[in-house]
Structure 1
Amino acid sequence: MATNDRALTLARAGDDDAFRALTDPYRHELQLHCYRIVGSTQDAEDLVQETMLAAWRGLEQFDQRASIRTWLYRIATNRSVDALRASARRPRRLDAMTELPEPSRRADPVWLEPYPDVLLEGLPDAAPGPDARYEVKEAISLAFVTGLQRLPPQQRAVLVLRDVLGFQAAEVAAMLDTTETAVHSLLRRARATVDSRLPTAAGRERAPLPGSRAERAIVGRFAEAVEAGDVETVVRLLTDDAWLRMPPQPYEYQGGAAIGRFLHDREARRGSPWRLVPTRANGQPAFGCYLPCPHTTIARPGGLLVLTLAGGDISAITWFADNSVFPHFGLPRTLAV
């Protein structure tokens, strides 16, 4: 009897260890899959737990016509789509920030959290299926995941399954209990929306390799300027068309002048510069930001910054004000200053 067949037989008989042997190799990739669809690290963790519980309870229905991996993806995808349709997964109302400089534009709110790079460690290096359209690095970037969050739930699922993971149309149709014709239609609409929102690569330098000297140089200059309260230097590090965004807030600032006004305004209201702790999110350099408390020697969390790089410049700054994401990044609750 093949190893997987034996483990399946034992798992169906109630053997927890055999079930984990079958499913644990896919936990990390399933969590990233759920994150791409729902845009939340915590929700993705919960959905993987729900997926494993559903798989444990449904082992008798697993007919082995597809692999264990494909079967788990089917469960995880449908759980994620259902979660998006459940109002309890998202706040009913967005409390907009007030007293901000005039933004360059107001976009639709995007409910999104950053994804810690530490959770990407240990993912299988196997190439995605032949139908995959996006490189691995692009498919975890904030720009791509943000584009996904602007799609209806089923379009998100189809785009990720087909263009990121490379599942065949027939497999995707089976996962979603629909037809191949419907899959092709959903995919066509999803691609058009995401492609229209992704930043164009034409004429723009690629980001430096993670951890490279070039990346360390630009990230280091940015950190020094922020901690010195030197807004002018931060602005000089930006591309001419750089964006500053604050999901889920709708306010977006483009260009050095607009971003500079915003940063000066925020610094004046805070009263002191940030203290930064480096980390990584969505394959990009990031910082946990801490604000010193007056008359104390500690600083408290104030948000997380993620940088998008283009060559030796910064093409986007994304600000996440929700401090609840800090534990996922291993960031301290307070910082000594």
Structure 2
Amino acid sequence: MSETSLQSAADLSRAQQGDDAAFSRLIAPLHRELHAHCYRMLGSSHDADDALQDALLRAWKAIARFEGRSTLRSWLYTVATRTCLDLVEKRGKRALPMDLSPSSDHAVLVDPPLTEIAWLGPYSVSDLPTGPAAHYEQREAVELAFVAALQHLPGNQRAALLLFEVLGFSAAEIASMMDTSTASVNSALQRARRIVADKVPPVSQQQTIRELGNDRIQELVASYATALEQGDADLLVALLTEDVTWSMPPLGHWYSGITAVMDFATEVPLTRCPSWHHLVTTANGQPAVACYLGMSAESEHNAWSINVLTIRDGKISAVTSFIGAEHFPLFGLPATY
């Protein structure tokens, strides 16, 4: 047994005797991937925080009864999944604007936030582990299209798909984790795959980023930020695909197609917003731009939105602007710039 394994075994024994420091050491290597699992299940970083805190409290209370029939990792995923399923039942699914209504043809100048809707939120993945071999890469499995598609699944299908396709557990293991039969798990997987396949593009953002290369991605992101800061409509339109979409949760209206998107862009961010500053970041494994709005170029600019960019064929095919200063701490970004 390796030195690391010996230390883990010793920490498990101590944790089962009530040593909370030993328990913290046990879960530390798995904390980040468990949090990502909770985000995929719930579609919100803040809900993932709550779910993981609750799951780890449950695990701490039950650790003395852990008999080692499965790995500690499998046991913790069981606790986390069941905790998330409880929250899914209570809180329902999260949405993007396109899930709720048709797109708008022209800019909507008065668009109050829909606070009664549970909106999908962005996610920081800078230190996600690679994890075991599975159908979806860890970063692919937090891309916006995939997480949004998951929200269309019932909780049991969502959990089965993630545990099998992303985390590499077998159908028999998942049946044990979810207290059901292997046949039920296979049935849930079959239904979930059909729905997700209809909603997720065949080429992931991770594959697109690898094919384009970092230099081209950085050039696209910098040009997008420059277009907004300088109010340059010609530069912006040159960056977008013909079927581009732009959505801005918690605002309900969204735009589809270059004509509608540019009508919105020229009416609102390019002309009616006094001044923009930007910081480049990443969200959901995709290039993103943190937008700061100010009353003039010289004034203090306040956190406004995290704009997640979806890339296809070397251009921007979707802009998802998560409006709200509450998103910025997730990415270690300042409130003003």
What range is the shorter-chain TM-score in? 0.7 to 0.9
Shift in Å at residue 314 of structure 1?
0.9
TM-score (norm 2): 0.85
Higher mean C-alpha displacement, 296-305 vs 286-295: 286-295
- Tell me if structure 2 keeps the 8 A contact 1:207–1:310: no
User: For structure 2, which runs of at least 5 residues remain unmatched after alignment?
Assistant: 108-116
Map Cα deviations across residues 189-229 of structure 1 (whole Å, 9 max, x no partner).
Answer: 11111110112449xx9235697111111111111111111
- Residue of structure 2 in register with 1:185 after alignment: 187
* 1:155-170 alignment runs, 5 A limit: 155-170=157-172
Within the candidate set 154, 162, 167, 1:152 is matched to 154
> 1:73, 1:263 → 2: CA distance?
43
1:114 and 2:122 correspond:
yes
- Tell me if structure 2 keeps the 8 A contact 1:111–1:149: no
**SS across alignment from 1:136:** coil
Aligned length: 316
Higher mean C-alpha displacement, 308-317 vs 19-28: 308-317
**SS across alignment from 1:22:** helix
> 2:286, 2:94 → 1: CA distance?
25
Higher mean C-alpha displacement, 159-168 vs 227-236: 227-236
Shift in Å at residue 127 of structure 1?
3.0
> 2:312, 2:118 → 1: CA distance?
23
- Residue of structure 2 in register with 1:37 after alignment: 41
- Residue of structure 2 in register with 1:48 after alignment: 52
TM-score (norm 1): 0.85
Shift in Å at residue 295 of structure 1?
9.7
Q: CA RMSD in A?
A: 2.7
> 1:178, 1:158 → 2: CA distance?
11
Shift in Å at residue 311 of structure 1?
3.9
The letter of the residue matching 1:255 is G
> 2:216, 2:169 → 1: CA distance?
36
**SS across alignment from 1:267:** coil
Shift in Å at residue 90 of structure 1?
7.5
1:74 and 2:78 correspond:
yes
- Tell me if structure 1 keeps the 8 A contact 2:274–2:296: no
Distance 1:124 1:320, change over 3 A: closer
- Residue of structure 1 in register with 2:286 after alignment: 284
Within the candidate set 296, 308, 321, 1:306 is matched to 308
> 1:157, 1:165 → 2: CA distance?
10
> 1:186, 1:113 → 2: CA distance?
25
> 1:253, 1:70 → 2: CA distance?
43
- Tell me if structure 2 keeps the 8 A contact 1:39–1:113: yes
Within the candidate set 214, 230, 233, 1:231 is matched to 233
1:61 and 2:69 correspond:
no
Same amino acid, percent of matched pairs? 40
- Tell me if structure 2 keeps the 8 A contact 1:303–1:320: yes
> 1:126, 1:16 → 2: CA distance?
26
Shift in Å at residue 137 of structure 1?
3.4
- Tell me if structure 2 keeps the 8 A contact 1:246–1:320: yes
- Tell me if structure 2 keeps the 8 A contact 1:208–1:214: no
Shift in Å at residue 310 of structure 1?
2.0
* 1:313-332 alignment runs, 5 A limit: 313-332=315-334
